[in-house]
Every structure is written in structure tokens, then in C-alpha cells.
């Protein structure tokens, strides 16, 4: 059986988070052949893998969100007129009215229309003019036209992607990955599963609302575009997974049929965190805090540094280890370095990429100040190392730290509001001042991860789901 995993902006180019989950999944099924269809920004990142690929990954294909129109017969398509059905399908996606995706899939994948000639052509112009007159005539048309071209360029590039044939497609998000998954199902008739770690539509909405590069009514246009793509993914999928119950409810609210949703919590190999290194004699004079993350805006490292600075004034023995890659957003990384310098706060260590097993045992507790998460593996790993966690109330962090319904283990750390420096600082001080509390909470976390979040449980769930999809393929081949 061959499974094609479709991933956007993560595996195998970026470590941690969803990428780590994908790698773990692939390694959990050594007898299954996997191919990766990876969506990345452009060709400059081509082949720059952050992972050594497992032996059962037989190919990696790339799709680019920002790319040239590499059609050798480009001029042949410059004056091509769309048929009535093609025009109506293009209009349906721009207007957001019962989009005829299958016609668009065939237009781009079988007839190989030029993306450039379509965006600059008369048909697209007429549709944008209609959209403009219907709801956006209060803004400058030329700005509106070029915004629409920038919105549809990455989507059309995805639609022109050559998709490898597989037995099952597994999209690890909706969005552009979901578009490719929906197209694969149309072209090959193969089963499709969509797994969301965070709710893609909500995450993009939060990013756009906070973004400075887009303003006014254009924010809503971009948000609507991501909603269209998510609806395609949900409608096309045979199974849609989410990490926890509330995420499943959000998927249903956005438009996913409830009968497709399956809850599949994350899992880790708890035994990997047995007999890990503990504090050295020199380190015992510190109360050490670990933050395992990518140094990027979504992790809100600046708030963490500020909260640590305030806490250290009351507990001078504190030491913060910020552990993870520093190459995703160099500008933000330097802003974090500058903040440490400007605050004149001591004992902040940026380790770069590390093995968590080498560090977690030496920490007294860990911290995560993200503004968006799903079900963070770093929290589960902290629990496996018997360490309590301070985390912001995003994603499933509260459920992990305080327990879900029916979980009576107790608190395994402290939850704070996002970007609340005072709350986070107070939480740091509370754990720093009580070794007894740290120990009790650490043991609670360990019991919780052993009971609910072992990798064996996750593997069994996905083994069942892959088998369901395999049987669907067999049944469809017989009809």
C-alpha cells in the first residue's frame, strides 16, 4: 500500500511540531510505502530537508506557492478562451458560489492552462469586475484587481501541480494541502483523509487579522479564500481527524460533516524519556526553565522573555533555556536577542536545535507562551520527563495541563492567558518557589501521558483508519 502525505510548510523542511508528528507516523508504519507531496514557498527551498528520511519514504515531490509558469508552450495558451463550463467554474470560485472544483481540476491538470495567461486574461478580468461591482466598488479597482491576482496565483499554481498516484492520500491540514487532496481524489478516485493539528482556517484568520501587510476589506477577502479551501477539503475527505474534542467541534462549526470527524490524540514514546540526564552539580544552584520551540512570532518568545525578566527580579536563581531552531524568522530572532540585551536580563540561553532528551531532565519545569497551538508534543514530552508545564490557553493546552472530562489526575502545571506578562511571570514565581508543587505536578503529568498519550495508542488509531481507507478503495474498485 502506498500513502501520499500532503503537507504544507513543514515536513521534511522544518523540525518539530507537525513535522515531528509526520516523521513519527511514518516510522510507526515501516511496512507501508510513503511518498511526500510537500508544499513550500518557492524553489529556493527545494531539497533542503531538516530530516533524514525514513527508509519507507520512497519519494518527495514539491509544489510551490510562489513560482514561475514553467510551460514550454506558454504562448500557445496566451489567447485561449475558456469554455462556458470552465468560465462558470472559475466564476464560482471567485464569487464563492457552489464552486465547481472538478471542472477547475480538469482545466489545470489535464488541459494545462497557463496560470499567467489566465490571471492576465480577459476571462479573469471580467469575473473580477463582476465581483468588484457586486460588493467592493468603494475601493480602487486597480488595487482590487491586483489583490485578486495575488490571492489566486498560489491557488492556481496548486491546481496545476502534478500529483503522484497513490492508494491513499493523507493531508496534514486543509488549506492548500486540502486542495491537492481534493484534486487527487477527483483524478484518481482514491480515499482521502485530512488531519488537522490546529484548525487551519482559524489560524489563518488570526494571522490575517493581526497582519500589517493587508488591511481593510482585503483581510476579509483573504479569510474567505481560506474558508473556501477548507470547505473543499472537508467535503472531499472520507475521514477528518482532530486531536481533541473541542477541535472536532470547531471543524463541525466551520462546515465539516460530523460523521466524518474522528478524534485522534497525539502520542509519544514515553520510554524515550527514562534515564535521561539530570542536573549537574553546577546546575543545581539554578531553577531551570525549558522552552522547547521554534523561535518565531507564533510562539511569542518576547512575552516569555519579559515575564522571565520580571520573575527573575524576585527569584534570582532562575535560568531560562530557549531550545529550538533560530533560522525560521531571522528578524524576529534578532528582536528577541535585542530584548534580552535591552532588559539586561541574565541567564537566558538560546541553545539552537537540540535533542529534548539531553535537556528536559535538567529542567525544573517547562514553558510555552504560544498564541496558537494544537496539542503540543513538547507538553507531552515534558510530562514524560516528569516536568510540570506553564502554558498559554491555546489549542488543547488547558486539557493537557488540567485534564479533560473524566480525567481525575489533577493539575500538571499552570495555564495563563496569551500575551499576559504578569500572569506568566506569577506562574513562573509560583513554581520556582515550591519544589514540592513542581514534583507533584510533574508526577501528575507523567500519569496523564502514560494513560492517554502513548504513541502505541496513536499508532493503533491510525492503523484502523488506514485500514478503513484501504477497504474503501477496494470497494470502489469493485463498483
Assess contact for 32 and 1: CB atoms under 8 A: yes
**pLDDT tens digit sequence for 211-231:** 888 888 999 999 999 999 999
**pLDDT tens digit sequence for 129-152:** 999 999 899 999 999 999 999 999
> 8 pairs with which residues across the strands?
39
**pLDDT tens digit sequence for 422-467:** 999 999 999 999 999 999 999 999 999 999 999 999 999 999 999 9
Task: Compute the average pLDDT of residues 93-113.
Answer: 90
The C-alpha cell that represents 88 in the structure block: 462558470
Q: Is the pLDDT of residue 73 over 50?
A: no
Query: What pLDDT score was predicted for residue 16?
Result: 78
If you ran DSSP here, which 8-state letter would residue 54 be given?
P
**pLDDT tens digit sequence for 17-48:** 899 899 999 999 999 999 999 999 999 989 99
Query: What pLDDT score was predicted for residue 110?
Result: 83
The C-alpha cell that represents 61 in the structure block: 515531490
pLDDT band at 68 (very low <50, low <70, confident <90, very high): low
3-state secondary structure of 140: coil
Characterise 454 by phi-psi region: left (phi > 0), alpha (psi -120 to 50), beta (else). Answer: beta
**pLDDT tens digit sequence for 323-358:** 998 988 999 999 999 999 999 999 999 999 999 999
**pLDDT tens digit sequence for 75-98:** 444 456 899 999 999 999 999 888
Cis geometry, peptide bond prior to residue 453 (ω within 30 degrees of 0): no
Q: Do domains 2-67+161-263 and 270-453 have the same CATH topology?
A: yes
- Fold assignment, 2-67+161-263: Rossmann fold (3.40.50)
3-state secondary structure of 404: coil
Rounded CA gap, 16 and 325, in Å?
Answer: 9
Q: Is the pLDDT of residue 314 over 70?
A: yes
On average, the pLDDT of the chain sits at: 93
Rounded CA gap, 89 and 113, in Å?
Answer: 14
**pLDDT tens digit sequence for 366-419:** 999 999 898 999 999 999 999 999 999 999 999 999 999 889 999 999 999 999
Task: Compute the average pLDDT of residues 262-289.
Answer: 95
pLDDT band at 6 (very low <50, low <70, confident <90, very high): very high
Query: What pLDDT score was predicted for residue 75?
Result: 43
What is the CB neighbour count within 10 angstroms for residue 464? Answer: 12
The C-alpha cell that represents 193 in the structure block: 483523509
| pTM recorded for the entire structure | 0.90
Domain 270-453 class, CATH top level = alpha beta
Query: What pLDDT score was predicted for residue 478?
Result: 83
Where are the domains positioned within the chain?
A: 2-67+161-263, 74-150, 270-453
Q: Is the pLDDT of residue 160 over 70?
A: yes
Amino acid at each position: 500500500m502506498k500513502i501520499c502525505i500532503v503537507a504544507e510548510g513543514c515536513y521534511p523542511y522544518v523540525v518539530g511540531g507537525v513535522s515531528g508528528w509526520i516523521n513519527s507516523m511514518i516510522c510507526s508504519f515501516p511496512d507501508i510505502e510513503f511518498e511526500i507531496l510537500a508544499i513550500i514557498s518557492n524553489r529556493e527551498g527545494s531539497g533542503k530537508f531538516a530530516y533524514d528520511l525514513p527508509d519507507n519514504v520512497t519519494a518527495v515531490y514539491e509544489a510551490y506557492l510562489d513560482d514561475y509558469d514553467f510551460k514550454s508552450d506558454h504562448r500557445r495558451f496566451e489567447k485561449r478562451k475558456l469554455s462556458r463550463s470552465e468560465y462558470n467554474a472559475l466564476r464560482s470560485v471567485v464569487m464563492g458560489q457552489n464552486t465547481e472544483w472538478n471542472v477547475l481540476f480538469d482545466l489545470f491538470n489535464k488541459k494545462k492552462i497557463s496560470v499567467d495567461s489566465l490571471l492576465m486574461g480577459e476571462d479573469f478580468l471580467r469575473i473580477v469586475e463582476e465581483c468588484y461591482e457586486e460588493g467592493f466598488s468603494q475601493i480602487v479597482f486597480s488595487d482590487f484587481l491586483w489583490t485578486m491576482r495575488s490571492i489566486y496565483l498560489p491557488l492556481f499554481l496548486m491546481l496545476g501541480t502534478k500529483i503522484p498516484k497513490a492508494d491513499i492520500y493523507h493531508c496534514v491540514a486543509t488549506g492548500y494541502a486540502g486542495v491537492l487532496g481534493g484534486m487527487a481524489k477527483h483524478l484518481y478516485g482514491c480515499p482521502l483523509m485530512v488531519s488537522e493539528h490546529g484548525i487551519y482556517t482559524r489560524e489563518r484568520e488570526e494571522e490575517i487579522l493581526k497582519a500589517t501587510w493587508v488591511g481593510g476589506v482585503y483581510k476579509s477577502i483573504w479569510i474567505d479564500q481560506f474558508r473556501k479551501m477548507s470547505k473543499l477539503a472537508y467535503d472531499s475527505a472520507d475521514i477528518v481527524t482532530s486531536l481533541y474534542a473541542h477541535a472536532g467541534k470547531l471543524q463541525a462549526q466551520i462546515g465539516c460533516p460530523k460523521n466524518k470527524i474522528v478524534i485522534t490524540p497525539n502520542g509519544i514514546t514515553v520510554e524515550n524519556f527514562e534515564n535521561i540526564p539530570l542536573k549537574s552539580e553546577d546546575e543545581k544552584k539554578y531553577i531551570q526553565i525549558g522552552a522547547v520551540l521554534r523561535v518565531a512570532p507564533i510562539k511569542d518568545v518576547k512575552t516569555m522573555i519579559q515575564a522571565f525578566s520580571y520573575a527573575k527580579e524576585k527569584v534570582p536563581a532562575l535560568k531560562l533555556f530557549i531550545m529550538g531552531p533560530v533560522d525560521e524568522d531571522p528578524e524576529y530572532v534578532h528582536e528577541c536577542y535585542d530584548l534580552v540585551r535591552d532588559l539586561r536580563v541574565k541567564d537566558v540561553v538560546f541553545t539552537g536545535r537540540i535533542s529534548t532528551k539531553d535537556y528536559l531532565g535538567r529542567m525544573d519545569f517547562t514553558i510555552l507562551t504560544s498564541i496558537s497551538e494544537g496539542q503540543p508534543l513538547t507538553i507531552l514530552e515534558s510530562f514524560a520527563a516528569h516536568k510540570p508545564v506553564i502554558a498559554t490557553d491555546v489549542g488543547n493546552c488547558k486539557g493537557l495541563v488540567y485534564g479533560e472530562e473524566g480525567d481525575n489526575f489533577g493539575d500538571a502545571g499552570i495555564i495563563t492567558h496569551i500575551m499576559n506578562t504578569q500572569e506568566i511571570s506569577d506562574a513562573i514565581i509560583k513554581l520556582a518557589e515550591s519544589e514540592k508543587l513542581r514534583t507533584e505536578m510533574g508526577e501528575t503529568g507523567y500519569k496523564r501521558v502514560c494513560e492517554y498519550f502513548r504513541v502505541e495508542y496513536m499508532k493503533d488509531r491510525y492503523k484502523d483508519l488506514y485500514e478503513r481507507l484501504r477497504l474503501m478503495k477496494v470497494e470502489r474498485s469493485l463498483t
